Structures are given as C-alpha cells and as structure tokens.
A and B are shown apart, each in its own frame.
Chain A
Amino acid sequence: MTKVRTQYNRRSFIKISAAAGGGMLIGFSWLTGCTSDPKIEKVEIPNEWYEINGYIKIGDTGLVTIYSPNPEIGQNVRTSMPMIVAEELDVDWKNVVVEQAPLNTGFYQNQFAGGSLSIRLSWNALRMAGATGRRMLLEAAAKEWEISISDLIVAQGVIKEKNGERTITYGEIASKAVDIEVPEEIELKEISEFNLIGTSKKNVDGYKIVTGKPLYGLDFKRDGMQLAVIQHPPAFGMKVKNFNEEEIKGMDGIKDAFIIDTTIEDPDWNDEKGFLQLIAIVGDSTWQLMKAKRAINANWETVSELENSEMHLKKLEDAFASGTVGANRKDGDPDAAFDKASKIIERTYSSPFLPHNTMEPMNFFANVTDNSAELIGPTQMPEPTEKSVSKLLNIPLENITVNMTRMGGGFGRRLYVHYALEAAAISKKIGAPVKLIYTREDDMSQGTYRPAYQSRYKAGLDENNNLVAFSVRGTGLPEGSVFPNRFPAGTIDNYLAESIGVETNVTTGAWRAPRSHFTAGAEQSFLDEVAEAAGKDPIDFRLELFDRAINNPVGEKHDYEAERYAGVLKLVKEKSNWGETKQGVYRGVAAYFCHSSYVAEVVDIVLLNGQPKIKKVWCAVDCGIVVNKDAAENMIQGGVIDGIGHAMYSQLTFNNGAVNEMNFDRYQLIRHSQAPEDIEVFFVKNDIAPTGLGEPGLPPAVGALANALYQATGQRLTRQPFANHIKEKVLLG
C-alpha cells in the first residue's frame, strides 16, 4: 500500500453528491450494468442508496454505482474509468453499474475528451475516489464492531475480521459509512496488487449498443420538443443576407424559419470562427425539415476570398519561401553540414484538408427559458459548452446545465461547441425545447477540418553513411505540422526544424492526433528512404539514432524517452519476425511518439490483381499501465485503420470556397474490404502511470503503410491520399 493525501474535503464530496443525485433523469435510463450479458444473475435493485462520495453510491443490496466523469466518444472511458475506481474500492465488478456523471467542474477535474488525456489526467483522482470509499467503509465496520481498522481485511466488497468469524458486506455497512469523516490520508494499492486493472472487461454499454437502445444525442427526446435544421452559406467566405422565409414557413410541417446569430464576445479556441449566421428551420418531422431545407432560396454575400484547392497548394508552396517561421529549433550548423555531405536526400510531403465525419452527425438539445438553459447532447467539451452558451444567452453560468450523451464518434470534431450554441439560439427564439440535427451534408461542409499540410525534409549523409544533417520545414493552413523537439531532434548534430503558418478562411481544428498523424507519415517514410540510401535496415537505422539520444544527446532537451521509443521498435521487430522474407509479402515499419505514448507498427502488404491488400499489422505499444486490455487493443486497432484509411483514400477539396465532397458518394472512407485482415497488438509491461491511448495508434500506421507500399510498388508515396497517386502501371508490372 502507498499512503497518499487525498485531494478532497468533505464539502466537495457533499457538493457533488447533491449534483449527482438530481438532474440526471433526462429522458432515458443512464444506468448501465457492467455485465453485458442479461442472463448473468445480478444483484437486486437497492431500496436505499448511500452516497459515499461523488464517484460512488452503494445500495443496501450491495449494488455499487460508479459515476464515470468524462464524455464517452467510443474510447471506452465509461468502462475503464469506473474500473479504476472499482479496483481501489475493492468491489466485485459484477456488482457495479455505471452512470454518466453530470458536468461538475468544481469537483471532477478535466471533464473532457481530448488529447488522449481522460485516463492520464484522472488516474490519481479515480484511484483516490475508490480508496477513500474503501477506507470509509472499513472505518464504519471497525466502529460497528468496536475493533481497530487494522484488524479488518476486505476483498470484493466483503469486509472480514482478521482474527474472527464476522463478515459484513459493503451493502450492509454503507448506511453507516456515509457518516464517516472523509479521510485526509488514504492507502492506495501497490500496482502488483491490482486484480481488475489490466484485465479485459466488456464495454458497459455493449448490450445496449447491440440491441439498438437509445444512447446517443440524436436519440434524445423530450415531450414538447421541436426539431430544427440549419443551413450555412454554400462557401467559406460567404454570409447569409436573406432568404425566402415566408415560403419556407408555409411548407407542410414547418413551424418557423429565421436567421440565428451565434456571435459571442471573446470567442475561445473551440468557438466557431466560420459560419456565425445561419438559416434555421423548425418543425416536428425530420423529413419535412429536410425537404424545407432543399427549398431554401437565399441571397448570400461574399465577405472574404473564395478559396480553392489549387490556391491552397500554391499558398503552401509559396510559404516555404516567404512564410513567417513559428516554432523552431536549430542544433549545430545545418547549412554547412549539408554543403559537406556526400549524399543529400530531399522530399516534400503533403496532405489535404479532412473532415472528421463522425458517424453520428452534429446535434444538440436545448431548452432555453428567460433565465436558464438546459443543454443535452454529444460534446467532448461540456464545460466550454456551458461557458459559451452563457455568453451567447447572457445567462449566468450557474443557471446553465450541460449533460453528456454517449457520442457516435468524436475524433476531435466535438471539441468545438458551436452546434450547441446554435441549438440554444433556436430554442431561445422559439421559446421551446428543441433538438438541432445536422444532415451529413451540413456535417461535412461545415466542418472544423484537419488542416492541409506540406512538409519538406532534407537529410545529409557523410561518406560513411552517417546521418550528419537533417532539416524539416513544414507549412500548413493555418499551421505547420512540425514538432521541433520530437525525434529525430537530439540524435543529429546539425538539425533544423521550422513550422510555418498560412492564413485561410476554412475553419480548422484538432483531428485525431493533430499534426502527429501527418508528421509521422512524412517523417517515418522519409527516414525509411534515408536508411535505404545509407544501406541500413530501417529498424537498425532508427535504433542507432536512439542510441545517440541515450548516450550523447544533441541539444538541451528533446520531448521523448529514447529507451522507451527504442523499446517499442525492438518489441515489434521481435513479434513481426522482422528480417524474415516471404514471397510476395512487402513490409514497412514506423514508430512514433505522441500523447506521451510510444507505438511502433509493421505493415504487411500483398498485391492482389495489382491492388495492394494489407494482410497484417503488428503493433507494439508503450502507454504505461493498461487499464482494460481488450478494449485498449480495440483502440489501437481502430487507430491503425483510421490512419491507413485516411492516408490511403480520403480528401476534402474546395472550389470557390465550397466543399466538393458533401457525402459518402464522393468522399471516401475506408471500408471492410480495404481494412487489414488482421491487427495484432502487444503492450510493453511496466508500472508507469497510464498515458495516451486513443490517438497514438494512428500516426505510425501512415508511415508504415507508405513504407510497405514502397516495397510493393517501388514508389515513394508522398502525397495523400496515396490511392490517387499510385501509378497503375507500377502495380500491374
């Protein structure tokens, strides 16, 4: 056991208990059993519940409710966060049910889903919440039996006397535990004592998902609720002037139509920067609203330049010469070293804008009254939603509630809160509760896109094929994709990294593993080419660089731990039998560090009728302690497919400010037949507190794919989407 001081006092627990007890009955049951199999005998529903602390409520039958604080976007925190609490509480997982906690930033810290941070930031808080509960239950039992707490042991929710016959369950003692003072110091388990963390527990929502129960924002209903759709201008750089309001209002099933304005003072990074004035149509049938949307005849005015994809490419090219350098790093004298180098390798890599395309389009419920607002829906950022709605409506924060539904995907898209503000503006205008629904076309063409990037890499080798000079210069709309202090910084004497931003009026933002997904693809395929030019095996070549970072690092600092980076490469080398050659199988490798985690991947490709087919992907992952093993593997597998799919097939292009790809007929997402046949995941075992998992699996897949495609086709693919640039004759040859 490790003794730690708790972060809480009694007051904060009471505060959250009150919030958790009320205000959560929002239309459908949030209670989710932790077993997905309905046939497993469950503990009876309690008659009385006892709030132990803001994370734990225990029923008189022994059923335990654990509140999951963070938004669920498919990263499975609704299972893994309660697992951490249950581990330290020491309760049988079968007796646990999970509820989504309400937004309460005074109590729960970091109630958001982004940056692969949920588990990483809440690891200690969740452990302490469980351990505090266990301690209070033990104290209550000790008091009841008039013995010392040190004479008690507990396992799976049953407290036993060490030297006696008496036992009592959590359910039996819970009513007395609520009166125990919250301890100021508690004991956490040793990592070696974990018996729940590190096992595989099924998704607590699994049964509801496979039986089609309403879980998502789009499924939310409230009596008297209206439905609404919006129409944004057809192009970035345009603004609505007016529209055929009376004609729309006269259509079947349409109750109202008007223009909303969601401009707020001091917008934050996750507030809308593009379309602030929108046409809104209100009715009670989704289909009739969609028909009314098609009947809109609006006058739009052009307020800034209407951009197109050719212009974007040129802007990025031009910025290499004329752009302003932002983040940068320089070690040694790169110019002189390149002059002296005996071999120079140079490549430019590029990738297009990408929409997130969560399968559940943007939507939100809002019920705004004169001095209150209730918001319910899919958001990765409930707290900023609350703040921005408060600014928009000029209603104090304490009169605004935000509740989180399960989300049909996030990928960064729901870090941006505008669609909740739009719902609030519509509800305010009509004076009734409303659910705003985006069509797929709205969702794809009013995005907060992954920026478009171009990066130029240059490497210099000396006569002994040592890497003596390296530079990367990255331009992007609106930011370059360069991490100056990441690998290979620290491994090369003469090193230059420069990030250059270029202005655009296309709205952009975080997209799963921001910048890392592009950088990993570019850098890792460039290093593959450099290794080849140096006549070295690509894994050995990287390991040599890591040796340099370990033994004699260049510069003051770098962002990664070279031993762990090398560790995942060695693990994937071993697991994939790297070096073994198979007729007709082409291999590529890549490794990347982001979100504090290390992932190396090997991709095997075969050619079927001249088309590349991915047979297998091996992944070696160091993300510290793994909480829910099988679910963690699922996240990595999903990241690999996400990375491969977008690098291979997806792009969003523009013409006169308008998006050309509005739906899945023109926009390509990876499908079943294009996915790898198998993906095997291996975790490095260590006792390091958990680091990121949702994002780090994606970036190396892009590089490993490009490198395997090179082996298969002889082409270095530098422009995404790769499928558009693989030369047909190469494949057929």
Chain B
Amino acid sequence: MPTYTLKINGKSHTVEADSDTPLLWILRDHIELLGTKYGCGIGQCGACTVHVNGNASRSCSLLVSQLQGMEITTIEGLSEEGDHPVQKAWIEHDVPQCGYCQSGQIMSAAVLLKNNPNPSDKDIDAAMNGNICRCGTYVRIKQAIKTASKL
C-alpha cells in the first residue's frame, strides 16, 4: 500500500492507504480525527466539510492521493480553544439539536465569513445550501452566522 504525507491542522501525518481512499476516512480511520462526519459519501450533505487550502471542501469526495502539500484544516484545528467566532456564536445561539451535522456547518460558515465578512441572507443561503441539517436548525444557523460576523 502506498504512503502519503498530509498536512492536517498544521501537523504532518504519514498514512498508508489505498490511493483512492477519501480524505474523510483517512481522518476518521487513520488519524482518529472524529469531528469530521460521514453523512452521505457523495458530497451531497456537507457533514464531512473541511478546509483545503482555505476552501470549504467535502472530504468524502477528495482522494488522499490528490492532497499532498495542501493545507487541510478540520473542526479540531479551527481554533485552539474552541473559540473561533463561529464556534462562539454557535454556543451563544445554542444551535445544535442532535449536533451531528454541526461541525460541517461550522466549517462552511467559517469560510463564508472569511471571504465575505458581512453576508446577506442570500449569501448565507448560497454558501450553506450544501450542508443539510436533518433536525432543522437552519434559522439558528443563520442567526449565529450573523452574530459571528460581528465578533
């Protein structure tokens, strides 16, 4: 099996895996970063969203062999103390119900705010539409993104 060296949350990790292994399973099975969630495996639900070179990306649809040299950030690496403005706003609005999709929602929202510090409702819808929340916390997510934009 080939080996790959990935830069995740600022640290270098060498893993042995099939070349077609999605980043999602490298994170979950090989590196035990379990905050990135499996939801659909086909890039439709957003539960597995991570940052690759600063872009919100679906880790279930990126292959380990394509990622060498890229900067990968997961929910565990978004902030040291769990105090990224988006995380703080999520707690302030007590957004989660079951909570399973929320790390993906937070990773998408963090990129949105980095690129567009004052998003309109339409901007939020456009950036967040790939992240499904089955519990229906959409209204709170929108409020939390607006709060985070002021933090």
Residues of A at under 8 Å CB distance from B? Answer: 36-38, 73-76, 200, 202-203, 205-207, 209-216, 218-219, 221, 227, 252-253, 284-288, 290-291, 357-361, 406-411, 437, 439-440, 630-631, 634-635, 637-642, 645, 663-665, 669-673, 675-679
- Cα of A202 to Cα of B91 in the assembled complex, Å: 8
Asked if B8 is an interface residue, CB under 8 A from chain A, the answer is no
Interface residue tally on B, bucketed by range: 35 or more
Q: Is the CB of B97 within 8 A of A74?
A: yes
Kindly provide the distance from the CB of B122 to the nearest chain A CB, expressed in whole angstroms: 8
Q: Is the CB of A74 within 8 A of B75?
A: no
- Chain B residues near A639: list those with CB within 8 A: 136
- Chain B residues near A360: list those with CB within 8 A: 37, 39, 98, 100
Q: Is the CB of A359 within 8 A of B128?
A: no
- Cα of A539 to Cα of B1 in the assembled complex, Å: 68
Asked if B21 is an interface residue, CB under 8 A from chain A, the answer is yes
**B28, B101, B136 interface centre (most CB from chain A within 10 Å):** B136
Enumerate the 9 nearest inter-chain pairs by beta-carbon distance, A residue then B residue, closest first. Answer: A212-B35, A641-B136, A408-B100, A74-B98, A212-B75, A664-B44, A675-B138, A209-B99, A673-B125
- Cα of A407 to Cα of B135 in the assembled complex, Å: 12
- Chain B residues near A630: list those with CB within 8 A: 94
Closest to B96 in A: A209
**B20, B100, B101 interface centre (most CB from chain A within 10 Å):** B100
- Chain B residues near A219: list those with CB within 8 A: 34
- Chain B residues near A664: list those with CB within 8 A: 39-40, 42, 44-45, 132
Partner of A358, one of B36, B125, B131, B134: B134
- 12 A-B pairs whose Cβ atoms sit less than 8 Å apart in the complex: A76-B97, A203-B99, A206-B91, A206-B94, A216-B37, A285-B21, A286-B38, A409-B135, A440-B40, A641-B138, A675-B136, A677-B142
Kindly provide the distance from the CB of A41 to the nearest chain B CB, expressed in whole angstroms: 15
Kindly provide the distance from the CB of A701 to the nearest chain B CB, expressed in whole angstroms: 10
Closest to A694 in B: B97
- Chain B residues near A408: list those with CB within 8 A: 37, 98-101
- Cα of A634 to Cα of B136 in the assembled complex, Å: 9
- Cα of A361 to Cα of B135 in the assembled complex, Å: 14
Closest to A216 in B: B100
Q: Is the CB of A672 within 8 A of B29?
A: no
Kindly provide the distance from the CB of A38 to the nearest chain B CB, expressed in whole angstroms: 7
Q: Is the CB of B74 within 8 A of A663?
A: no
Kindly provide the distance from the CB of A461 to the nearest chain B CB, expressed in whole angstroms: 37
Q: Is the CB of A634 within 8 A of B18?
A: no
Kindly provide the distance from the CB of B97 to the nearest chain A CB, expressed in whole angstroms: 4
Contact A672:B128 (CB < 8 A) given known A212-B34, A634-B137, A639-B136: yes
Closest to A74 in B: B98
- Chain A residues near B37: list those with CB within 8 A: 216, 218, 359-360, 408
Kindly provide the distance from the CB of B90 to the nearest chain A CB, expressed in whole angstroms: 5
Kindly provide the distance from the CB of B106 to the nearest chain A CB, expressed in whole angstroms: 6
- Cα of A409 to Cα of B137 in the assembled complex, Å: 12
Kindly provide the distance from the CB of A277 to the nearest chain B CB, expressed in whole angstroms: 25
- Chain B residues near A215: list those with CB within 8 A: 99
- Cα of A22 to Cα of B35 in the assembled complex, Å: 27
Partner of A214, one of B34, B39, B82: B34
Within 8 A of A (CB), among B1-59: 1, 17-18, 20-22, 25, 28-29, 32-42, 44-45, 47
Closest to B108 in A: A672
**A287, A358, A437, A641 interface centre (most CB from chain B within 10 Å):** A287
A-B contacts besides A285-B29, A359-B134, 15 pairs, CB < 8 Å: A74-B96, A74-B98, A212-B34, A214-B35, A253-B18, A285-B25, A359-B39, A359-B45, A359-B133, A361-B38, A634-B94, A637-B139, A663-B44, A670-B136, A679-B139
Within 8 A of A (CB), among B107-125: 121, 124-125
Asked if B72 is an interface residue, CB under 8 A from chain A, the answer is no
Q: Is the CB of A676 within 8 A of B97?
A: no
Kindly provide the distance from the CB of A648 to the nearest chain B CB, expressed in whole angstroms: 12
As a 0/1 sequence over residues 67 to 106 of chain B, the CB contacts with chain A under 8 angstroms (1 = contact) are 0000000111000011000010011001011111111001
- Chain A residues near B75: list those with CB within 8 A: 210-212
Contact A359:B101 (CB < 8 A) given known A209-B96, A211-B75: yes
Kindly provide the distance from the CB of A213 to the nearest chain B CB, expressed in whole angstroms: 7
Chain A contact residues, majority secondary structure: loop
- Chain A residues near B47: list those with CB within 8 A: 359
Chain B contact residues, majority secondary structure: loop
Contact A207:B82 (CB < 8 A) given known A36-B91, A406-B99: yes
- Cα of A287 to Cα of B1 in the assembled complex, Å: 14
Q: Is the CB of B142 within 8 A of A211?
A: no
**A210, A410, A642, A669 interface centre (most CB from chain B within 10 Å):** A210
- Cα of A36 to Cα of B102 in the assembled complex, Å: 15
- Cα of A5 to Cα of B78 in the assembled complex, Å: 52
- Cα of A671 to Cα of B87 in the assembled complex, Å: 21
Closest to A75 in B: B97
Contact A669:B132 (CB < 8 A) given known A637-B139, A641-B138, A664-B42: yes
- Cα of A672 to Cα of B21 in the assembled complex, Å: 30
- Chain A residues near B21: list those with CB within 8 A: 285, 287
Closest to B76 in A: A212
- Cα of A638 to Cα of B97 in the assembled complex, Å: 8
Closest to B84 in A: A210
Contact A287:B42 (CB < 8 A) given known A209-B96, A634-B137: no
Kindly provide the distance from the CB of A318 to the nearest chain B CB, expressed in whole angstroms: 34
Q: Is the CB of A409 within 8 A of B38?
A: no
**B74, B76, B121, B125 interface centre (most CB from chain A within 10 Å):** B125
Partner of B81, one of A38, A216, A410: A38
- Cα of A358 to Cα of B100 in the assembled complex, Å: 9
Q: Is the CB of A671 within 8 A of B132?
A: yes
Q: Is the CB of A286 within 8 A of B99?
A: no
Contact A673:B76 (CB < 8 A) given known A206-B91, A637-B136: no
- Cα of A672 to Cα of B144 in the assembled complex, Å: 13
Contact A672:B125 (CB < 8 A) given known A206-B94, A212-B76, A634-B94: yes
- Cα of A219 to Cα of B75 in the assembled complex, Å: 14
Q: Is the CB of A287 within 8 A of B25?
A: yes
- Chain B residues near A287: list those with CB within 8 A: 17-18, 20-22, 25, 29
Kindly provide the distance from the CB of B108 to the nearest chain A CB, expressed in whole angstroms: 10
Asked if B66 is an interface residue, CB under 8 A from chain A, the answer is no
Q: Is the CB of B141 within 8 A of A672?
A: yes
- Cα of A213 to Cα of B87 in the assembled complex, Å: 13
- Chain A residues near B102: list those with CB within 8 A: 209-210
Kindly provide the distance from the CB of A391 to the nearest chain B CB, expressed in whole angstroms: 30
- Cα of A437 to Cα of B47 in the assembled complex, Å: 16
Kindly provide the distance from the CB of A218 to the nearest chain B CB, expressed in whole angstroms: 7
Q: Is the CB of A440 within 8 A of B39?
A: yes
- Cα of A158 to Cα of B139 in the assembled complex, Å: 40
- Cα of A645 to Cα of B136 in the assembled complex, Å: 9
Q: Is the CB of A676 within 8 A of B139?
A: yes
- Cα of A75 to Cα of B98 in the assembled complex, Å: 7
Closest to A641 in B: B136
- Cα of A214 to Cα of B47 in the assembled complex, Å: 14
- Cα of A214 to Cα of B37 in the assembled complex, Å: 10
- Cα of A474 to Cα of B16 in the assembled complex, Å: 58
Q: Is the CB of A640 within 8 A of B96?
A: no
Q: Is the CB of A359 within 8 A of B132?
A: yes
Contact A211:B99 (CB < 8 A) given known A287-B22, A671-B132, A672-B141: no
